[in-house]
Structure 1
Amino acid sequence: MIKRLLIILLIFASTISFSQEIYFCNSHTEKGDPIDARNVWSIKPWGSLVYVLVNNENKPFETHLNYLFLDRLIDGEYRPFDSKAVNVKDDATWFAYNYKFTEPGKYKVYVVNQNKQEIVASTVTIQVESDYLQNRQSKNSLYYDGTKIKFCERVIAGKPINTFRKMSLSKLDGTVHVFIDTKSSIQSSIFVVDIWEKPTRSIEYDKFIESKKYALTPSWDYVFFKYTFSKPGQYKFNIYNENEVLITAGYLEVVE
């Protein structure tokens, strides 16, 4: 009885030691061991790379071609977000894909082989570096006083056409032109846009949506870009220059 119990325990321990696993890590060894693995990662507003390391129970993958799927948690439900095809070498028992996360949220990550069999799944939480956002929001400059944001249908010959402060998702397919009039040269080779949302029953725009970075010529006295919304809400746009100085901010309400 003792011998039989010992054999069962050894088999169980072996199963635990070599189970299929997904790691989200900063790096890995040549043998496929994860380095600095965790399930919560902080990224830059414009995105950061995280290795998705898949260990196939120390056994060769059944197929050379495998698919890495990412579903994002939206309104309590995981919805398809992205996918990548990964080719593995003969007899490979692990692979690592250096994936660039650009949007905060909770993700389900899973691997499906060429035979449409799900191999392994896990979850990871992505958040934006709080120190980065706090430091950027604390800076301002008198140089940009008078700079305005105008939301409009289009821009023609440097002029915003049909400006508004409330837009309908159905009317413009959710796409708005954001026009920034600096009155004088913008004096920056890039600008960064942080987009925030005011949650229901909140008085603050404290839900970070995403960040965008754009290249420009410092001598320009106006710039514009297009942005597409996926759902209604009340949004705030913070515009920063290359030194993370706030240029201006604007507010827009989006309805169905």
Structure 2
Amino acid sequence: MDAVRPILSGHKSLIVGIANDQSIAYGCAEAFRASGADLAITWLNEKARPHVEPLGQQLGAEIMAPLNVENPGELEAVFEQIRERWGRLDSLIHSIAFAPKEDLQGGLLDCSSEGFARAMDVSCHSFVRMAKLAAPLMSDGGTMFAMSYLGAERVVTNYNVMGPVKAALEAACRYLAYELGPRDIRVHAISPGPLKTRAASGIKEFDRLLNDAVEHSPLGALVDIEDVGFACAYLATKFARRITGGTIYIDGGANIVA
């Protein structure tokens, strides 16, 4: 990653969702660190730890901890570590999503109520829970990010249950922006173009989505995790202090083309 100015020097950021060095969350962590931020990162479980912890060490992350939002108490434990170590938080990046494979790969009509509920809890409501814990630590204001996708707004073939779930996540961002605005806390839904991540591998015919993105993009190229990371880093600065509540597309303009 090219050297950049330390526009986030002293900034404290929690980044949730790193699985490997191809993750959107990792692109954000790299960009925030390159911009001078101090990092807290998490891994899903002990199986993921050997893949994530070395990345955190390379980035000089000051706080590293397990976090499965489905496990009672783990989310609260992460924020308690942040409170004890830093006493504050400036930004939060939520980059996690999940749906059971059988529910994700079938159509919405065939999605089970249990699978829909898990997808909604992990992919959407966990962001609301994080926001509630983060807000008291953002006494001087802050920024929250949640990762969405164009399938929240339009039907994307094979995106299935994640479309309604991401639509709910974008709505949650708008309502949180409204509720937290008086506390100078800004909230953004980030909608990158399709990226080759492990999470995307569960979507049928994903290569076709990649090809379509290139074809429809006015810039004629796919975005990468660095593009997403630096856009979020900008939004976390005072340069973007009057931007909140919207969905920010980082897709080379593909969303504007029918």
The bucket for the TM-score relative to the shorter chain is under 0.3
Higher RCO (Cα < 8 Å, 6 or more apart): 2
Structure number, greater radius of gyration: 1
TM-score normalized by the length of structure 1: 0.20
Q: Which has the higher helix share?
A: 2
Q: Which has the higher strand share?
A: 1
TM-score normalized by the length of structure 2: 0.20
